[in-house]
Structure 1
Amino acid sequence: MDSFQLEDFVAGWIGGVASVIVGYPLDTVKVFGFFKGMSFPLASIAIYNSVVFGVFSNTQRFLSQFRCGELEDGPGQSPSDVLLASMVTGVVSVGLGGPVELIKIRLQMQTQPFQEVSRGLRSRAVAAYQGPVHCIATIVRTEGLTGLYRGASAMLMRDIPGYCFYFIPYVFLREWITPEACTGPSPYAVWLAGGIAGAISWGTATPMDVVKSRIQADGVYLNKYRGVLDCISQSYRQEGFKVFFRGITVNAVRGFPMSAAMFLGYELSLKALRGDHTVRSG
């Protein structure tokens, strides 16, 4: 059997839609602008998660097939395969997700005041971007194509360990919760394992998420940071060590329902697409 399976991408897209609907209000709270830019992430993050789950599952199967000459599915999955697949997913996620998160954050930051000097002494709030397309065009015009990957280094340092703490706990918690007599995990096991994995992943990723978000939000009206180290240095000098854990509670709280919805949507849709009688990823 071929290790590549397209339905993982379709199921990931469905799970992505579920996670955005469940978690987006809490996501905007930590950046400002409640429901700002909702249409963009609903369309794009679903595609992003489609790639994430598709890459993870297919990479895991490829590694298992390469190592053993056959596909491993379910109990007994190699920890090294899950680890390597998670790391590959983290790298790939930056290539696609960097511009997505940049545009989302820029649109969410529209609530920041901006002084329009061309109209005399009076200032007023002016939106820098009219929408996702205008935001992309403005960034490319003013910063070049590389501007779409502002904060990519910080995102890479967030996502490689972040996806390790996302998929590894999920895979093994799901199997630990599932009784040995069962042929596959129940929807409850998927929901609980996915929620816990999401809380763990977002909690541990918070420091680099703070840095990444600050770098990506930078440049809307002013350029404050010269890079990751400069952002870390300035943030520490001005606000102390605690700044890197700002929003950790919101991240962990929102990570549970978002990831629970993500994995449950993924697993159930994958089951329907494959016509399986058990819930099983990979």
Structure 2
Amino acid sequence: MPDYDADSALQRSKQLNDLLFGSVAGLVGKLFEYPFDTVKVRLQTQPLDNPTYKGPIDCITRTLKQEGVKGLYKVPLRSGIFCQMALGSMLENAALFVGYKQIQRTIRDLFSTPEQRAAYAQITDEDDLPALTIPQLFLSGAISGTFASLILTPVELIKCKLQIQLGSAFTAPITTTSLSYTHPIHYRGPLHVILHTLRIHGPAGFYRGHLATAVREMGGGAAWFGVYELACRQLTRRRQARMPHRVVTKRDLPTSQLMLAGALGGISYNFFLFPVDVVKSCMQTDEETQARARAGRPVGASTVERRGFVQVARDIYNGAGVKGFYRGCGITVARSAPASAIIFATYISTHYESCT
């Protein structure tokens, strides 16, 4: 009879490993990509009729000139950098990798016999398990992205509100007992954004733009993991053809090829889902951009327009056409290649080290 307690303990160990390695990979990747993400969000949310920046280079140059390097890491280094960059990135990638691996195990269990499931539970190295089909891997990525969006939406909202602040004089609304916006405010860090959002909108305020985030993460998860796995499979086949006397697995691929596969996954995710990301960023910063447009004039809370997904998409199209959905796309795709390469290489290397 199988030892179900041992099987359960092994499964928990695998999930904890996925959580740990996903967290480490997310932190390493975010340290590299965060400045480029700041540029992307500023380009996405600038006014359609009178853009603040001419392009990514202009945005980088002006940010460095006006705010220094810390302007690209748009959180105060003492109060916010750990919360926003470390914790947010660790949660995001941990949720993605844990969900992705667990959904793969669930799919494999659904299509296997009890005897096969008992045998699979004893295997510690995922590469030794029967391979899923490419459509199943794309599905696993899509489902994991959908679940990860529940964690990611509040993290993205806080990040975007901080990233669009310009210097130290950004005007955003705050509440008073009369629920009117009468004073300028500058977010001092993630905690300040959290308290402000709770005071104005309650807990539901953290899920502003969740539909757009969920759509982006569902398609993005499928592209990110699916293209990565497809590339790894092709690279493994090529290596197998050169080494016919042994079985070649993903574990045998050099780090450079794992990074190449990760880069292709990152490019696919960011390019194909970028228009949805633009809508998401605009939805999550509506409050701040409207306050900026009013130049700090006191307004009633009821006059802040909360646009939905379709309305934001329509406004972007009416204001800038199709190109409005690709503001910041170039720099995002450019940084996604090395960032995703680093994330996957970090995850795989830590995973394999734990198996040795």
Same fold by TM-score greater than 0.5: yes
Partner of 1:173: 231
In structure 2, distance between residues paired with 1:189 and 1:66: 31
- Say whether 1:25 aligns with 2:83: no
Equivalent position SS for 2:269: helix
Contact 1:110/1:127 (CA < 8 Å) preserved in 2? no
- Say whether 1:154 aligns with 2:154: no
Contact 2:170/2:186 (CA < 8 Å) preserved in 1? no
After superposition, residues 85-164 of structure 1 pair within 5 angstroms as 85-111=140-166, 113-114=170-171, 127-164=185-222
Deviation at 1:83, TM superposition (A): 2.4
Contact 1:128/1:220 (CA < 8 Å) preserved in 2? no
Partner of 1:231: 312
- Say whether 1:51 aligns with 2:95: yes
Deviation at 1:3, TM superposition (A): 5.2
Deviations 1:88-116 (A, max 9, x none): 11211111000001001111122174289
Q: Which has the larger radius of gyration?
A: 2
- Say whether 1:243 aligns with 2:324: yes
1:126 and 1:160, CA in 2 relative to 1: closer, same or farther beyond 3 A? same
Amino acid at match of 1:159: E
Contact 2:39/2:328 (CA < 8 Å) preserved in 1? no
TM-score, normalised with respect to structure 2:
0.70
Deviation at 1:41, TM superposition (A): 2.0
Aligned match for 1:36, one of 74, 81, 89: 74
In structure 2, distance between residues paired with 1:192 and 1:237: 38
In structure 2, distance between residues paired with 1:202 and 1:94: 15
1:115 and 1:3, CA in 2 relative to 1: closer, same or farther beyond 3 A? closer
Partner of 2:3: none
Equivalent position SS for 1:219: helix
Deviations 1:111-144 (A, max 9, x none): 174289xxxxxxxx95432211121111011011
In structure 2, distance between residues paired with 1:96 and 1:160: 13
Partner of 2:349: 268
RMSD across aligned positions (CA): 2.2
Deviation at 1:186, TM superposition (A): 1.9
In structure 2, distance between residues paired with 1:153 and 1:96: 13
In structure 2, distance between residues paired with 1:91 and 1:150: 16
1:140 and 1:217, CA in 2 relative to 1: closer, same or farther beyond 3 A? same
In structure 2, distance between residues paired with 1:77 and 1:229: 36
1:221 and 1:173, CA in 2 relative to 1: closer, same or farther beyond 3 A? closer
In structure 2, distance between residues paired with 1:271 and 1:73: 10
Contact 1:195/1:259 (CA < 8 Å) preserved in 2? yes
Count of equivalent residues: 267
- In structure 1, stretches of 5+ residues that fail to align are 117-124, 276-282
- In structure 2, stretches of 5+ residues that fail to align are 1-6, 43-70, 76-80, 121-125, 174-182, 291-303
In structure 2, distance between residues paired with 1:56 and 1:232: 30
- Say whether 1:208 aligns with 2:266: no
